[in-house]
Amino acid sequence: NAGVTQTPKFRVLKTGQSMTLLCAQDMNHEYMYWYRQDPGMGLRLIHYSVGEGTTAKGEVPDGYNVSRLKKQNFLLGLESAAPSQTSVYFCASSLQGASYEQYFGPGTRLTVT
């Protein structure tokens, strides 16, 4: 049982390039989330999904797109990367139900130059 995995672990992009971050979970969780973590800011919610085929905006969605074509995968896309998107990105998942306890992946460190 791998839990929540993220690919890649590190990435360097030039301004204007695009990329996709992949999150996968094997816990059969309905809910999935993408966060970014910046120094001194805690974690902020970018987008989330409450089930296969659904997505919704979080607190800081601008410049990002997401897709949830399969229940176990949640993709985060950057169409035209900007230096302000330099951050550590975390994916999380949770069961639908009473607790919604979230479990996190190991993170992806992205640098945009």
- Residue 75: phi and psi, rounded to 5, are -105, 140
40 is a contact residue toward other proteins (CB under 8 A):
yes
Is residue 26 near other proteins by the rule CB under 8 A?
A: no
Sheet holding 19-25, edge to edge: 4-7, 19-25, 73-78, 65-67
Give the nearest distance from C-beta 10 to other proteins in angstroms. Answer: 11
Regarding 60 and contact with other proteins (CB under 8 A), the answer is no
List contacts with other proteins (CB under 8 A). 31, 33, 35, 40-45, 48, 50, 58-59, 88, 90, 94, 96, 99-104, 106-107
